[in-house]
Structures are given as structure tokens and as C-alpha cells.
A and B are shown apart, each in its own frame.
Chain A
Amino acid sequence: MFDGYTTSELMSIFAMQGFAGLSLFSVFVLMALGLAIIFGQMGVINMAHGEFMILGAYTTYLTSGFFQAYLPSLFGGYFFIAMIMAFLICAALGAFVEWAMIRRLYKRPLDTLLATWGLSLILQQAYRSIFGPREVGVELPEWMMGAIQVTDMVELPINGLFVMIIALLIALGLYLLMYRSGWGKKVRAVVQNRPMAEAVGINSGAVDRMTFALGCGIAGIAGSAFTMIGSTGPSSGQAYIVDTFLVVVFGGAQSLIGTIVSAFAISQAQSTMEFFLSGSMAKVLTLLVVVGILMLRPEGLMALKIRR
């Protein structure tokens, strides 16, 4: 597939497609971080994760509408408010879902998968009834439009760059929370040995609820960021869910760094191959390679060693 290109041409193609892949990377990272917390730390498969993301996107959409109507002077900064709102709303719904549904199913992981799938169907139809089946987009504030010229061939759109910075900041924040805070210590203790963690006085039920809510909240931020680079429809979340699961599993379920590395690898591979092949074949090849590697190395790229 590289026939007919000189080396320098290839290099600039790779650079170009690499930058194009970065916005896909940002969405993957944000989606996958939330999922990795829930799946990696709790062993729960949340099939409704995409719908939590879309909830964040719709929250952003509503907030932008609100600012346009009532506070047009502050419109430039609405996005930060929207992100906090999206986080809080999704986290609240997540905590409720954990309380009502998930905590009864911890011993049956396969059943959580089916139950959350049911939840995702309900949420999708709810979005469709409330917001209509058409995709909606938000208006970007002035400062987010345009692009930065890096070299004469490569230019970076500001909104894409902004989303990527958010993704990296959240990843960093999450790292600090998980590995440098007392709460993170509790979460990791529960993951590694639940009975012992309970024995030393950690309330594992509360830790589970917080973890689930945090994961869902990050999905909300992902949705909020998603509106900056694309439009939102009731079933946009479903399109990403399998890819994101693969990102999480490929990275090694318990490893945050692994998640970021695998999100980078998958998004870059896909966007680079898209230049040479049709979009669908690029996706097929990427997924095939990932599935193939996972068949040979089921524990993923960077597996945390835990006692089994």
C-alpha cells in the first residue's frame, strides 16, 4: 500500500494523518478513561457508557442554548460551566444507577452487561423522544474557531487542540486521584483484595458507588468535549462503545497508562491507514489487528500484576 510514494511524501502523510488522528484519540481517551475506571477497578461492563457520554453532550447543548439566550456576554466561557454541569449530572445519574441496579449484580458480571444494555436502550429512546432524532450541534465561541499554522503543510484546529488538552488534563487529574490520594488508595485496595480491604475498615460499597459515579462523570466530560468536534444524535454513543471497550482491554484493564497508550495506538493506526485505504477497510484492519493481538496476549499491553 506504500507503493508510489517517496519517503519524504510518506513522512508528511504520516504527520498530517497523525494530527488528524489526534481528535479521535482525545475522544477515545476520555471515553476509555471512564470505562477503564469502571471496568478495570470494578469488573463491571457498562454498556450504557456511550449514552452517559451523550447525556454530557446534550447537557452542553442545553447550557450553550441557555447562555446564548440569557447571558450572551459570558458566552465565551460557557464551555467550562457546561463541562462541570455535564460531570455533575452524569455522576449523579451514575450513582443512582449503581444504587438501583449495579450493586445487586456484582457477583454476575455477565448480567450487568445485559442490564446496562437495557439501560442504554431506554436512555437512547428517551433522548430521541426529548431532543428528536436529528443530530444537534453547539455553537462554538469565537476563540475556539480557526487554526494554528505550524508549518506550511500542517495546521492545527484550535477546537481539536482544546479537546486534546482537556483529555490530557483529565488523564493527569485521574492519575493523581488514583495514585496520589487517600481515596485512590482505597479504590486500589478494594480492587486488589476486597475482603481484606473490608477487614481494615474500608466501606467497599461506598467506594464502588463513588468509582462508578466518577467513571460516568468522566463520560459526561467526554460528551461535552465531543460536541466541540462533532454533532450529537441519540445513538452517537453506541457507535463508539465497542471501539472504546477494545481500547480498554487492549491497554490492559487495570492500567491507566495502558489505556492512553492503546487509545493513541488505535486512533493513529486507524487514521494513518484511512489515507491509504477506504475508511471501512482501515477500521476493519485496525480492529482485526487489535483482536489478533488480544488473542495472543489476552492480558493487554500493560497488565497490572495482581494475585489471582
Chain B
Amino acid sequence: MKTPSAIQWFKSREGIYYVLLALLLVVVLPLTLDPFRLSMAGKYLTYAFVAIGLVMCWGKAGILSLGQGIFFGLGGYCMAMFLKLEASTPEATSIQSTPGIPDFMDWNQLTELPWFWQPFHSFTFTLLAIIGVPVLLALIIGFTMFTRRVGGVYFSIMTQAVAAILTILIIGQQGYTGGVNGITDLRTLMGWDIRTDSAKMTLYFICVALLFACLFAARMVQERKLGRILVAMNAQETRVRFSGYDVAAFKIFVFCLAAAFAGIGGAMFTLIVGFMSPSFVGIVASIEMVIFCALGGRLSILGAVYGALLVNAAKSGLSESFPEIWPFAMGALFIGVVMAFPNGLAGLYQTYVQPLENRIFKRKPVEAESDSAMAKVQKVSAEENEGFDSSIDNYSTEKS
């Protein structure tokens, strides 16, 4: 595929999808929603970061991480630590027995700031840590697992275990992390009050801008040879390895990329919502993030954004009015997405809406459309897997 110039790209069908999403997020939602609802939408969008990462990691490369909440939480906690330190000036905390440290530390009889809180006085360090800490952890997990060819469900279980460990650690170490309540009562970012309506509006737009940055980064990966290798690896890992590619390195890369996205999303979450707690880190939260990606379509990065928006909107809508129904709906969604439409909304769109579009606009089907091409690769590989010889082949890829 030739790389078209920017203008050509915006006129292409894929470009139009991006423009439509941008219109929805930048024009339609801010005009139709009141500030409170808009801030809610911003909160849902922070989950879209995780969902985009999962599309790259799970949809394309076939690595299902059930621990994206870890990275979301780490990014969020980094941001929350910075904000908490800013909120805990000696003047603001003068009633404590040790002024100048966060309130929950004082309640837990700590008398000085722990060493790992010290660097979070610096905003530059915080920004680096928001991406750096999740990526570092992903690198460690990825390196130990993928170089030993741990894959498939084993990897999922291990990431889940790490999520469990981190949650128990955060809840248990109340004095250092704020425990089960998390880090609350965050007020200002570099002296700018983040709780006002205008601030929430600004944060929403920052979130949208960052989201598009991540979308373009993900798109860049998927359009290059790199993206093709990821998909090939998902379909036939051994063949890619025998072709001379270092499979583990690609897996580590895409896992780290997903972790970085999730970290950014977590930091924006803290800013928009105004607190961070372990309930966004744990196993349940992490698996819920997978459904955002699965509903939107595990192969489509744009679908992931819609998936995150829709599931979360449905969640707050339903659990506000019928709290009993929501878990049933969520469970049915998990089963339905897996059994009935594994390619999610994006898949349904490609099967039912796009032919219609082609007829209306009298265009030829766009062969270079990356998502449909990916879907085709997956389909072919699924068909191939029916055969005997590749089922043996699969045993080796599913190595423990």
C-alpha cells in the first residue's frame, strides 16, 4: 500500500471514519451534554486508551492480557501522587501531627514522606513515570514470559495474578497508598483548580487530543510491516519464528505499547475523576476493560473507542435505574460477543453497513482497508486450524 498524502488520506474512507469520530467527540458531545455528563464521557474515553492497547495486544497479536488494570492503575496512581503532594502543602495540612504529608499517611502514623513519594514533587518526573512505570513493569513481565514462550491462557492467568498481587498490596499498605479508599481529595494541577466546570471541559478536550494521538500511533503500527508481523504471529506463530523473526521481541513491544496507552488513560482518569482507588486496578476492572475492546471489535482501533463509550454509558445508565439488571446484561454481553459476533461492532459494520455504503457511493470495495484485511487473515487462519496438521502446529504455539 502506498502512503497517501494527508489530504488524500482524509478523503479516503478510513480518513472519513476518523473525521466522524473527531466530529462526535469534539463537536457533538460538548454541544449536547451538560458539563457533568461531558466529564462522564471524558471518564469513559480514558478507558478507550486501554481498549486501543488491547486491540493491538489481543486483537492483532493474540496476547490476551487480563491485567491492563495494573497499567491503568499505575499511570493513575503516579498522577494521583503528584496531585496529592501538591494538595498537601504544610499550610493546608497544618492540623495534622506532621504537616506537609498526605492526610492518609498522617492517619497511619507515618512521620515522613516515603522515599518513593519524593520524586513525585516534580511534574516532569511524574509525566515520565506515567508512561515509564507501566512500560517498565510490562517489560519485566513480557521479557520473562515471552522469551520463555509462555503464551495463550497461561499468560492471561499470570497477568491476572499480578493484578491480584498489586491490588492486595495497595489495599494492605494503607500508609503508603491510601488503602482501599485510594488517593482522594485532589485539588489542583500546577496551581490550576481541576474541579471547576471549565477545567473539566478543558480536561475533556485534552483527553480527546491524547486519544487521537494514541489512535494515530496505533494506526502507524498497524499499517507498517510491524503490524503485519503481529497479525501473522497471531495466526501462525511457529511459521513467523521459522521465517527468522524474533517473536518474543515483537510481543514484548506490543505489550509495552498497550501498557503505555493504559498508563496515559489512567493518568487522565485521575485528572478527570479527581481520585484514584484500587477498585480500578483489580481483576474485575481488568476483565471489564477487555469487553470494551471486544464489543467495539477486537481488530478495530476505532471500534475500541466506540466500545468503551457504549459499554460505560450503558453501565451507568442501567446501574442507575436497574442495578439488578446490569450484571446480567454485562454477562450476556460477554457471552454474546464471544459466541455470536466475535469481531464486535466493527465486524457487524463491515458485514452489513459497508455493502450498503458501497452501493450508495458507487465505490469499489476498499481492498486496502486494513481492518477487513486483518479480518480476512484471521478467517483464513481459523479455517486452516480446522485441519489436522495445523492443530498439531497449534500445540507447539500453545506451549506452556
Contact = CB atoms under 8 A, between A and B. Distances in A.
Interface of A: 39, 43, 45, 101, 104-105, 107-115, 117-122, 124-126, 128-129, 194-195, 238, 242, 245-246, 249, 253, 278-281, 283-284, 287-288, 290-291, 294-296, 298-300, 303, 308
Contacts of A114: 287, 290-291, 294, 334, 337-338
A125 B291 contact: no
Contacts, number: 133
Given A118-B332, A121-B334, A249-B157, A284 B165 contact: yes
B342 interface: yes
Contacts of A283: 168
A125 B328 contact: yes
A184 B172 CA distance: 44
B26 interface: no
Contact of B332 (A122, A280, A298): A122
B121 interface: no
A105 B338 contact: yes
Nearest to B145: A295
Interface size class of B (residues with CB under 8 A): 35 or more
Q: Is the interface of A mostly helix, strand, loop or mixed?
A: helix
A101 B339 contact: yes
B164 A242 contact: yes
B382 interface: yes
Contacts of B290: 114
Contacts of B201: none
B168 A298 contact: no
Given A119-B331, A295-B148, A308-B396, A194 B161 contact: no
B123 interface: no
B334 A45 contact: no
A300 B400 contact: yes
Given A105-B338, A288-B165, A113 B331 contact: no
B154 A249 contact: yes
Contacts of B333: 118
B338 A118 contact: yes
B160 interface: yes
Contact of A117 (B162, B287, B342): B287
B395 interface: yes
Nearest to A47: B287
Contact of A125 (B327, B338, B398, B399): B327
Given A110-B58, A110-B64, 18 more contacts: A110-B62, A114-B287, A114-B291, A114-B334, A115-B334, A119-B334, A121-B327, A242-B160, A245-B157, A249-B158, A284-B165, A287-B164, A287-B165, A287-B168, A291-B161, A295-B150, A299-B400, A303-B400
Nearest to B327: A125
Interface string B303-343: 00000000000000000000010011011111101110010
B324 A129 contact: yes
30 contacts: A105-B338, A105-B339, A107-B382, A109-B153, A114-B294, A114-B338, A117-B287, A118-B334, A119-B334, A121-B330, A121-B334, A122-B327, A125-B324, A125-B327, A129-B324, A194-B391, A238-B284, A242-B164, A246-B157, A253-B400, A283-B168, A287-B161, A287-B165, A290-B161, A291-B158, A291-B161, A295-B145, A295-B158, A299-B400, A303-B400
Residue among B162, B165, B332, B338 with the highest chain A CB neighbour number at 10 A? B338
Nearest to B140: A295
B68 to A, nearest CB: 14
Contacts of A294: 158
Interface in B130-175: 144-145, 148-150, 152-154, 156-158, 160-162, 164-165, 168-169, 171-172
Given A45-B157, A129-B324, A246-B157, A295 B342 contact: no
